[in-house]
Amino acid sequence: MIGDIRETKECQLRDPMDLFNSGQVVKICAPMVRYSKLAFRTLVRKYSCDLCYTPMIVAADFVRSAKARDSEFTTNKGDHPLIVQFAAKEAQVLCDAARIICPFADGIDLNCGCPQRWAISEGYGACLINKPELVKDMVRHVRSQIDNPKFSVSIKIRIHEDLKRTVDLCQKAEAAGVSWITVHGRSIEERHQPVHYDAIKIIKQSMSIPIVANGDIKTLKDAENVHHLTEADGIMVARGLLANPAMFAGYEETPFQCIQDWIDIALEHGTPFTCFHHHLMYMMERITSKQEKKVFNVLSSTSAVLDYLSDHYGLW
C-alpha cells in the first residue's frame, strides 16, 4: 500500500505547526484503536477537525513486517495533516519507523499514555512517563535523523500523582525538540475519575511549546470550557467524536447528513462490516430509542444495515 501511494502523496504534506501558530484552538481527532482509521478520519475532516491521528501502531512490528505496514497504515491525498502514533521503547526502532513513514505523514507521536496492561508489560505506553530520559532520548534521535524540519515529533502522556514529575518530563521532552505535548489529565491508575484540568493548566504554564488537552470532552461546549480551564493550544477528542463526528462543526448530535456521509465514505473505502456497523452504533446512540437499538445493533450484514437505514430514516 505504501509503495502504491508514494507518487501521489509526497506533495500533499503539511506542517502541523502551522495549525498551532494560527491563533485558533486546534481541533484534534485522537488515536483510537480500530476506529481512527482512514475512513473515519475522512469523515471528521469534513466536519471541521483540523488534525487527525492514526491508531497506535507498534513501531517494532511496523519496521519488521511489510504485512504489518500494509494492514496498519493507509492514507490518501486528502488525509492531511496526519500524525502517526507509535508505541516504542527503543530510540532507533522509533527512528526507523519514523523514516519509513515520513514521506506519507506529517509527523509522529510517541504514545506515553496507554494504560493497558499488555502495553505496560511490554514497556510501552504509560510506563514511559516514569522514564523521562528514555523519552528525551527517543525524541532527540528522531529529531536528528529525520531531515525534514517540518516533520513533527510529539508525545501523548498521562500525569503523575506528583505533578512536578510530569512537568520535569515535559521540560526534558521540550529540551529534546518535541513539537507539542498532549496531556490526558488522569494518572495511570485513573480510568473514569474526573479529569484534572487544573494539572493540564499548570503544565501549560510551565512550557513554551503547544500543549493539547485530552480527556472527557464530549461536545463543542466541553471543548470550549476545557480550553478556558487549561489555556491549552489544542483539544483532542476520542469518544466524543465517535458519538458525534460532526461535533467540531457545532452539531450537538450527529446530523443525518453525517450518517449519510459515513455510509458513502465507508462503502468507498471498503470498510469491514464490523467497523462500519460499530461506527453507526456510536453515531446513532443519542438519536435512537432502546427498541430501535435492540434491532439495529444485532444486524449482521452491510445490506441489512443499509435496508434498515433506508426504511427508517430515508438514508441510502
**Known binding positions for FMN:** 31-33, 85, 184, 238-239
Q: Catalytic: which of 102, 114, 127, 170?
A: 114
Whether the Cβ atoms of residue 166 and residue 196 lie closer than 8 Å to each other: no
C-beta of residue 210 within 8 angstroms of C-beta of residue 240: no
Annotated binding site: 31-33, 85, 184, 238-239
Long-range contacts of 64-71 (CB under 8 A, 24+ apart): 69/1, 69/2, 69/100, 70/1, 70/2
Using CA atoms, how far residue 135 sits from 81, 88, 141, 243, 276, in Å, is 24, 10, 10, 33, 36
List, as one string, the DSSP characters of 258-288: HHHHHHHHHHHHT--HHHHHHHHHHHHTTTS
Active site residue 52: no
- Cis omega (within 30 of 0) for bond into 81: yes
Q: Please state the three-class secondary structure of 38-106 as a single string.
A: HHHHHHHHCCCCCEEECCCEEHHHHHHCHHHHHHHCCCCCCCCCEEEEEECCCHHHHHHHHHHHCCCCC
Work out the angle at residue 284's Cα, subtended by the Cα atoms of residues 282 and 287, and round it to the nearest 5 degrees. 135
Closest CA to 113 of 185, 61, 204: 185
Single out the residue of 190, 191, 199, 188 nearest to residue 232, CA to CA: 199
DSSP structure class, residue 34: T
Taken in order 92, 58, 240, 160, the sign of the CA dihedral is negative
Catalytic (active-site) positions: 114
